[in-house]
């Protein structure tokens, strides 16, 4: 078994990341292909299977080198049969992903939510450092989350466990979220949420440095963070508000779950220690004192590899 490989697959709406991973969690080879969402994602599993075969051929390795496939997909997953309840960006509803991919590849497959697997990857080989009690939050175009308790992903009764991005933080006059609710954390702490809040701030402060730079360079979450680091007051107020909502939400989760680590990943987390410090200032005051003694807030370390490593882990441990 030690010389067998696991296939980790991170299925996104734009690209599909794949990797061959050994039993120690080391990536042997990684690559990606575009996600073909034509005809409601009809060709996705075929594309994955063909890509795996092509890569094996390139590496001159036999198919029996592979032991199993783990795949992370967007949306809630039926853990009983490996189907996807709904993945809007892919056009899937009650889609039998496990069955289809097993038929296409001839390999056993296990399926989980993509954010859950990013958390698993960080637990196994990343910032989690083997911790069995952790929360992982991915701050990107949206806000994803994965909760691990006693070494197991919290999936809930119907696959919706860990949807941290859809915790309501603005119950009054909250912005519309893609999930159908209003006032979700995702509408504030995602890259798109940061840009929205910055636009609202610029509308009230048209002569600010943020407004001028946004006009010159284009408005982005990165620009807002860069100016906040420089002390620009409007950008700083936007980041402080985002951090306050994240800090309160994460503190409430920590009070309920008593994790050892809370890990911040995703593109927005590239703001680095400035983001961690800003969130921490709002996080600590809301923590139950006993919980405060054990938890650490840290940046993810695996980047885009977290999902494929997490997927390989579940293939290794669940099949």
Query: pLDDT (tens digit, 9 = 90+) per residue, 15-54?
Result: 999 999 999 999 999 999 999 999 999 999 999 999 999 9
Residues 112-130 have a mean pLDDT of: 95
Residues 272-290 have a mean pLDDT of: 95
Residues 285-311 have a mean pLDDT of: 94
More confident residue, 220 or 158: 220
Distances (CA, A) of 293 to 247, 253, 257, 258, 284: 16, 15, 14, 10, 10
- Provide the percentage of residues in the chain whose pLDDT is more than 90: 90
Report the mean per-residue pLDDT for the chain. 95
What's the confidence (pLDDT) of residue 1?
61
- Pull the structure tokens for residue 250: 């994460």
What's the confidence (pLDDT) of residue 101?
98
Distances (CA, A) of 237 to 27, 173, 244, 269, 284: 41, 19, 10, 18, 19
Residue 139 has pLDDT above 80, yes or no: yes
β-strands 5-11, 66-73: how paired?
parallel
What's the confidence (pLDDT) of residue 88?
81
Q: Which residues of 293-315 are buried (b: 16+ CB within 10 A; e: fewer)?
A: eebebbbbbbebbbbbbbbbbbb
Residue 150 has pLDDT above 80, yes or no: yes
Helix (H, G, I), strand (E, B) or coil at 82: coil
Quote the pTM value. Answer: 0.91
Q: Is 262 exposed, middle or buried (0-12, 13-18, 19+ CB in 10 A)?
A: buried
The set of residues, in sequence order, having a beta carbon less than 8 Å from that of 117 and lying 6+ positions away, is 10, 70, 72, 146, 306, 307, 310, 311, 313, 314
pLDDT digits (tens, 9 = 90+) for 172-195: 999 999 889 999 999 999 999 999
């Amino acid at each position: 078994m030690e010389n067998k490989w696991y296939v980790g697959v991170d299925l996104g709406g734009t690209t599909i990341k794949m990797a061959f991973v050994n039993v120690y969690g080391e990536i042997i080879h990684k690559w990606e292909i575009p996600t073909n969402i034509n005809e409601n994602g009809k060709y996705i599993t075929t594309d994955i299977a063909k890509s795996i075969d092509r890569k094996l051929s390139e590496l001159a390795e036999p198919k029996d080198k592979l032991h199993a496939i783990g795949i992370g997909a967007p949306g809630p997953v039926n853990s009983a049969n490996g189907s996807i309840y709904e993945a809007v960006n892919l056009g899937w509803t009650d889609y039998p992903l496990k069955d289809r991919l097993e038929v296409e590849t001839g390999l056993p497959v296990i399926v989980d939510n993509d954010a859950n697997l990013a958390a698993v990857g960080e637990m196994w080989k990343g910032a989690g450092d083997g911790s069995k009690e952790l929360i992982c939050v991915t701050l990107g175009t949206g806000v994803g989350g994965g909760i691990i308790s006693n070494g197991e992903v919290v999936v809930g009764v119907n696959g919706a466990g860990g949807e941290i991005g859809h915790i309501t933080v603005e119950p009054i006059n909250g912005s519309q979220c893609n999930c159908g609710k209003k006032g979700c954390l995702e509408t504030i702490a995602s890259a798109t949420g940061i840009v929205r809040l910055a636009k609202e701030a610029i509308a009230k402060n048209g002569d600010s440095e943020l407004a001028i730079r946004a006009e010159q360079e284009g408005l982005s979450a990165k620009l807002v963070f860069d100016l906040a680091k420089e002390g620009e007051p409007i950008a700083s107020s936007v980041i402080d508000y985002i951090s306050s909502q994240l800090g309160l939400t994460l503190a409430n989760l920590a009070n309920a779950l008593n994790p050892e680590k809370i890990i911040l990943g995703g593109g927005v987390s590239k703001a680095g220690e400035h983001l961690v410090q800003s969130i921490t200032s709002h996080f600590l005051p809301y923590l139950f004192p006993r919980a405060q003694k054990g938890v650490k807030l840290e940046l993810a370390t695996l980047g885009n590899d977290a999902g494929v490593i997490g997927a390989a882990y579940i293939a290794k441990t669940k099949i």
